[in-house]
Amino acid sequence: MLWTPTKDFVEKSNVTQFLTWLRDRRGLNLADYDALWHWSVTEIEAFWGALWDYFEVQSSTPYSRVVDRLTMGPGVRWFEGSRVNFAEHMLRYEGNVDEPGFYHLSETRPLGTLSRRELGAQVRILATQLRALGVGPGDRVVSYMPNIVETAVAMLATVAIGAVWSSAAPEFGVKTVIERFSQIEPKVLFAADGYRFGGKDFDRLEEARSIIAALPSLKTVVWLPYLRPGVEAPPVPDAVLWRELMDHSPVPGHLFSYERVPHDHPLWVVFSSGTTGLPKAIVHSHVGALMEMMKLAHFHLNLKPGGVIFFYTTTGWVMWNIILAGLLMGSAVVLYDGSPVHPGPDVLWKMAADTGATCFGASPTYIQILERNGIEPGRDFDLSRLESILLGGSPSTPENFAWFYDKVKRDLWVTSQSGGTEIASGFVGASPTLPVHAGEIQTRMLGMDVHAWTDDGREVTGEVGELVVTSPFPSMPAFFWNDKGDKRYRESYFEVFDGVWRHGDFIKINERGGCYIYGRSDSTLNRYGVRIGTAEIYRAVEQVDGVLDSIIVCCELPGGNFYMPLFVKLKPGRVLDEAMRKAINGKLRLDCSPRHVPDEIHQVPDVPYTLTGKKLEVPLRKILMGWAPEKAASRDAMANPPAIDWYIGFAEERKQTAVA
């Protein structure tokens, strides 16, 4: 045990306030968080109905029922009959309107603030101009912009008028962006001319031009000269400049109407890559994301009016969507665009001190960088307002936790949380009423009926199993875009256990409810918190001259590290030399992103396949992580059984080298 909340911290927590509300308003006496969680997953309608009232959700019409069924699967309907708008709730907080809504910092701009009043004014202007451009409910609006305040304003304005938002980070390669956006046929594209990372400028003019050319559905391109503010050279002649859209008279709040939409109306499309085909285009609804994010921000992040939340992310990751939920609770959100270690490895901690951050978030990998550089934030900066740490993106270790208590401050609620793009939230996470144990995720989140199951569907405690969810929750995907009959949706989460969500993570839940995540159980790569589809890598690698076939895996290592080797089968007479390695890495960096570049590349005689033509990614990963080959892969299920022998030998050599 590393930390126990003080009595005062517990009493002032949002969890305790809700327990009091339930007692006073519902006559429900729940002793503690554990009792609250059990109630939330057994009395599902009562729990979510109580949250609707507790958060005073604004709807044009009352809902007819909380949920239409309690069995898991696509198509569960939440709060039918209601009409809400996600952006309206993001901007409705009635605190001091002159308090910051956003703090924003980048390698090209100094630290600045945007007040709640200014934020609302900008959103109303942009939303009004989007309507004037013919954008309406259901139209798709996409972004190829960095993590800057303009991107957040564009998202809120899009959502405010009932249009559907989607975002890609500017470090994504052209092909990666096109594979995402072409699926949803956007009407408007917001794009920036580039970004700066690690002191180096990355121009995106040509990339934007290529993306625009590949999206015939586009009617309007909005161009932001961000990297070079004085150079207004858009990628297409008829592009609209950001400043032109914003150079209009203010729109008074009482004259602006938010588009309140039905319960199942799409809010945004986020993308999570599988092992085959195009990235999954996951759609969340306004009411689903609203209910889930209010719950997450209020109870599991303990955000309050006057709080300040930061998490290091890019616009291509669902964490960007999630941290904006701080606005729902009256907290300010810190947006940062740039390298986490430039101009020095302490840049984010200086920013935390300057903004008065109360919640600081990053991945465990970032902590390793700080350790190597001898950074001690608690010694060098005023972090007196800091209350909590949010670790996410990959499994955390006891050493990660210990670092915060040693180098930041002793009285600190250090949390590790785990969820996914698919739900825009977490399955397991934190409660401010519980103690912190080294390397342990404190609890299962409210409303998340999470369990660890064996392969034959038996629940286990204190053992590693598959993370499953046995009851529905509002932020399940409303649907996948262009997924007729929910075929891909079902294959992704309901194919292994009938009527049960199998997420693809290994989890252990101990006797007191503490949780440990052990990485992916399926073949989607998870490298430093960024999920990567193997299909994206294969499409790029196998276009390189001389490459015949390939297979890639990512293994979680002790200390939060990762090992991602790529194995390539070459055409006859070709050899994997330095030139080919550079060509492969360059192709991955260009078409995908720097995160797709493997740690090593090895030439192999063959790539193992199943009898049904699928690459043996999961068995190969297990072999490299030390499983006995006969337990990791069945030769009877292989189309070419001898192919696996090379990899078994490779794994044994790695093991012997590590021992030596």
pLDDT per position as a tens digit, 235-259: 999 999 999 999 999 999 999 999 9
Q: Which of 49-58, 132-141, 548-557, 600-609 has the lowest mean pLDDT?
A: 548-557
Mean pLDDT of 329-343: 96
Helix/strand/coil (H/E/C) assignment for every residue in 16-54:
HHHHHHHHHHHCCCCCCHHHHHHHHHHCHHHHHHHHHHH
User: Quick check: 300 pLDDT over 80?
Assistant: yes
**Angle at Cα 616 formed by Cα 459 and Cα 278, nearest 5°?**
90
pLDDT the model gives residue 612: 56
What value does the mean pLDDT take over residues 302-326?
Answer: 95
Q: Which residue has the higher pLDDT, 634 or 569?
A: 569
> CA-to-CA distance for 241 and 120, rounded, in angstroms?
20
- The Cα 367–Cα 364 span in angstroms is 5
Mean pLDDT of 399-424: 95
What pLDDT is recorded for position 491?
Answer: 92
Greatest alpha-carbon pair distance for the chain in Å reads 78
Q: Has residue 535 got a pLDDT over 90?
A: no
CB atoms within 10 A of CB 407: 18
pLDDT over 90 (residue 372): no
| pLDDT tens profile 214-228 | 999 999 999 999 999
Q: Kindly give, in sequence order, each residue whose CB lies less than 8 Å from that of residue 72, ignoring residues fewer than 6 positions away.
A: 469, 470, 471, 472, 494, 499, 500, 501
pLDDT at 464: 82
In order of start, what are the domains of the chain with their CATH numbers? 527-659 (3.30.300.30)
What pairs with residue 557 in β-bridges?
561
Could you tell me what percent of the chain has a pLDDT over 70? 96
Question: For residues 196-206, b (16+ Cβ closer than 10 Å) or e, as one string?
Answer: bbeeeeeebbe
Q: What is the mean pLDDT of residues 128-137?
A: 98
Q: What pLDDT, in 10s, does the model give residues 421-439?
A: 999 999 999 999 999 999 9
First vs last C-alpha separation in the chain = 35
Give 630's pLDDT tier (boundaries 50, 70, 90).
Answer: confident
With cut-offs at 50, 70 and 90, classify the pLDDT of residue 636.
Answer: low
Residue 431's pLDDT is what?
98
At 395, is the pLDDT very low, low, confident or very high (cuts 50, 70, 90)? confident
Name the pTM for this structure.
0.86
Average pLDDT over residues 474-497: 96
196: enclosing H helix or E strand:
strand 194-197
The pLDDT-based confidence of 273 (bands split at 50, 70, 90) is low
Predicted local confidence at residue 275, as pLDDT: 42
Residue entry with tokens 């991107």: 151
Average pLDDT over the chain reads: 93
User: Could you give the CA distance from residue 239 to residue 642 in angstroms, rounded to a whole number?
Assistant: 56
pLDDT at 272: 81
- Please, is 276 exposed, middle or buried when counting C-beta atoms within 10 Å of its C-beta (0-12, 13-18, 19+)? middle
Contacts of 577 (CB under 8 A, 6+ apart): none
Q: Is-contact 272 531, C-beta < 8 A?
A: yes
Question: How sure is the predictor about 276, in pLDDT bands with cuts at 50, 70 and 90?
Answer: very low
Pairing state between β 359-362 and 308-311: parallel
Residue 633 confidence (pLDDT): 81
Query: Any idea which of 135-139, 322-326, 328-332, 589-593 has the lowest mean pLDDT?
Result: 589-593
Q: How many CB atoms lie within 10 A of CB 607?
A: 19
SS3 of residue 605 by DSSP: coil
Phi, psi angles (nearest 5°) of residue 93? -55, 130
Helix or strand holding residue 11 (H, E)? helix 7-12
Hey, is 500 helix, strand or coil?
coil
For the cut 80, the answer to whether the pLDDT of residue 521 exceeds it is no
In sequence order, which residues have a C-beta less than 8 Å from that of residue 431 and are 6 or more positions away? 15, 33, 299, 300, 442, 443
Nearest CA to 444 out of 431, 430, 428, 423 is that of 428
Transcribe 507-551 into DSSP letters: EEE-TTS-EEEEEESSSSEEETTEEE-HHHHHHHHTTSTTEEEEE
Using alpha carbons, list the distances in angstroms from residue 367 to 312, 353, 391, 430: 12, 17, 10, 19
For the segment 580-605, what is each residue's pLDDT rounded down to a tens digit?
999 999 999 998 888 889 999 999 99
User: Is pLDDT above 90 for 465?
Assistant: no
pLDDT at 95: 67
Which DSSP helix (H) or strand (E) runs through 269? strand 266-272
Residue 491 burial class via C-beta count within 10 angstroms: exposed 0-12, middle 13-18, buried 19 and up: middle
